[in-house]
Amino acid sequence: MQGIITAMKIVSTCRHWLFPASCLFCQQPLAGADHACCADCLADIHPWPIHHCYRCGKVLPPSLSPGPCGECLHQPPAYVSSTSLYQYRGAVRQAVLQWKRTGHDAAFRWLLTTADHVLRDCFHPDDLLLPIPMPLSRMRVSGMHHSADCCRLLAKRYGCQWQWQLLRRQGTQLRQSSLHAAQRQSNMRKAFTLNHDYLPAAGEFRRVWLIDDIITTGATMHYAARCLQRQGIACHAWALSHTPLD
């Protein structure tokens, strides 16, 4: 047994010598092999502030007691609540862009693993996860569907069900990232439809979640949730990251 342990230590040392560990975010070599993220990138990861409107996710001053923001009191979004893990900037933005451009998802997975304690409170085996569908034309070019990948991973980790055929994209929309806030609303107004063959039965799931990688204005989430709301299905919005509104 001692011989095996010694051999494993030698193999491990050689592996680290030949393939030194590097930061998952910036790829700089790391001093220790026990970490996946360098100190600079770690300092550049910003969780979504605790003080936010539970309904739309908008950041609120810490002095306000928990509750909806003024906008949601007046005109709430179609989703019941909003949960975002990180601010879409710095190392998180870099990780999402790397994942989208190259398909390398190690940093994205690490961000989820790091937030495991929060995710355990969110998701339950009786929940249904629905990815925000992306346009078929874009999926055919990239060969990837990020929100579906995210659903698959979350469903596997937390024992939920996920379903990609219920909510569907229709028509042609411009890229949301190329538009202003008002244009984003009208761009997504008719972007979604439902495949009624996959509608869940009433009370079949504890919660239905809409899953996306980034929330910016919330327009995409709102119109996707509205589609389900019209069929009597209340949805909760979940995103890996949320764009800070400076």
Beta bridge partners of 130: 210
Cβ nearer to Zn ion, comparing 19 with 175 = 19
Q: Single out the segment in contact with Zn ion by CB under 5 A; choices: 36-44, 111-119, 157-165, 236-244.
A: 36-44
Among positions 65-124, residues that touch Zn ion (CB under 5 A) are 69, 72
Distance CA 115, CA 112 (A): 5
Shortest distance (Å) from residue 144 CB to Zn ion: 24
Which range in 13-21, 30-38, 200-208, 235-243 contacts Zn ion by CB under 5 A? 30-38
CA-based torsion, 207, 212, 216, 218: positive or negative: negative
Shortest separation between residue 130's beta carbon and Zn ion, angstroms: 22
Q: Using the rule CB under 5 A, which residue among 55, 169, 184, 207 binds Zn ion?
A: 55
Residues 30, 36, 38, 155: which binds Zn ion (CB under 5 A)? 38
158-177: which residues touch Zn ion (CB under 5 A)?
none
Q: Among residues 36, 45, 53, 111, which is the contact residue for Zn ion, using CB under 5 A?
A: 53
> Candidates 8-16, 54-62, 203-211, 212-220 — which segment interacts with Zn ion by CB under 5 A?
54-62
**Interface positions with Zn ion (CB under 5 A):** 23, 25-26, 38, 41, 53, 55-56, 58, 69, 72
